[in-house]
């Protein structure tokens, strides 16, 4: 089945940018979308401190806002955490979960990814669920097994309708922040495998779900990566911190 999926490009700013810098950056983004406005779905994930100001600065523009993480409880004594409802109120439409940096440094597991994904959906936010293998796992030939486990456990218990609201981000950990990008063939192979799993889990909805590639996406490789049949956009780290680079990547998603 060949379904036209709108390409989706999200900038994950990680722990970068003050409030003032964040607002200045998104104003440049909103002003520079040009032909991509309305044709490519675009979002940014600022640090939590800047989310509200960024959402206000982007009101009326085509650029959407995402959280970088979320906690699964609605409220309570969970020092340092934020709920999906709080993200929504601050202006988010999306929430990233399962990023490899959360898995590596902050104890994120497939089980917490699953709880966070469900919490985002319940609050009306669209989850971006990150998966991806470590270098040692790729070298041991375990890439597809790792991604299979992360997708199945991350999405466990969801209905097909809920799955339809989710974006998967395939981010091979060895490509993140390293300047080493997966080849288009490597990306397409894993993306196609992910879509097959999504089809097993949710049926036809899999054809409408976006699978982003992440890991050293730059203006000069974005177009080729996103031209692959199962690469439906990008989750961009470093290159999303500069408006001209991020805008060039977004425009690389245009036909």
Pairwise CA distance, residues 137 & 86, whole Å: 36
CB 239 to ligand 13P: min, Å: 6
Pairwise CA distance, residues 162 & 129, whole Å: 13
Joined tokens for residue 9: 């490009």
Site for ligand 13P in 3-22 (CB under 6 A): 12
- Report how far apart, in Å, the C-alpha atoms of 130 and of each of 34, 117, 172, 234, 243 are: 29, 11, 10, 11, 24
Contact mark string toward ligand 13P, 206..245, x via CB under 6 A: --------xxxx-----------------xxxxx------
Joined tokens for residue 219: 């203006």
CB 136 to ligand 13P: min, Å: 18
Site for ligand 13P in 166-195 (CB under 6 A): 171, 176-177
Pairwise CA distance, residues 89 & 187, whole Å: 35
205 CB neighbour count, 10 Å cutoff: 19
Residue 66 binds ligand 13P (CB under 6 A): no
CB 13 to ligand 13P: min, Å: 9
Give the residue with the Cβ less far from ligand 13P, 171 or 230. 171
Catalogue the active-site residues: 99, 171
């Amino acid at each position: 089945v060949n379904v036209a999926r709108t390409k989706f490009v999200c900038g994950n700013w990680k722990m970068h940018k003050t409030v003032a810098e964040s607002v200045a950056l998104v104003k440049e983004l909103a002003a520079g979308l040009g032909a991509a406005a309305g044709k490519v779905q675009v979002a940014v994930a600022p640090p939590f401190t800047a989310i509200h100001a960024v959402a206000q600065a982007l009101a009326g523009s085509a650029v959407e806002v995402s959280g970088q993480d979320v906690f699964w409880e609605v409220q309570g004594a969970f020092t340092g955490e934020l709920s999906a409802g709080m993200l929504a109120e601050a202006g988010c439409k999306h929430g990233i979960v399962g990023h490899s940096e959360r898995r590596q440094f902050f104890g994120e597991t497939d089980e917490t990814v699953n709880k966070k994904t469900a919490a985002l959906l319940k609050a009306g936010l669209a989850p971006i669920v990150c998966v991806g293998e470590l270098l040692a796992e790729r070298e041991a030939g375990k890439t597809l097994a790792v991604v299979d486990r992360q997708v199945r456990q991350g999405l466990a218990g969801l209905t097909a309708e809920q799955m339809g609201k989710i974006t998967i981000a395939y981010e091979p950990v060895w490509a993140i922040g390293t300047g080493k990008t997966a080849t288009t063939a490597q990306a397409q192979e894993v993306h196609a495998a992910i879509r097959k799993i999504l089809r097993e889990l949710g049926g036809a909805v899999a054809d409408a779900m976006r699978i982003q590639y992440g890991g050293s996406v730059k203006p000069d490789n974005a177009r080729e990566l996103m031209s692959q049949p199962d690469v439906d956009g990008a989750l961009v780290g470093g290159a999303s911190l500069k408006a001209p680079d991020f805008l060039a990547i977004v425009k690389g998603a245009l036909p």
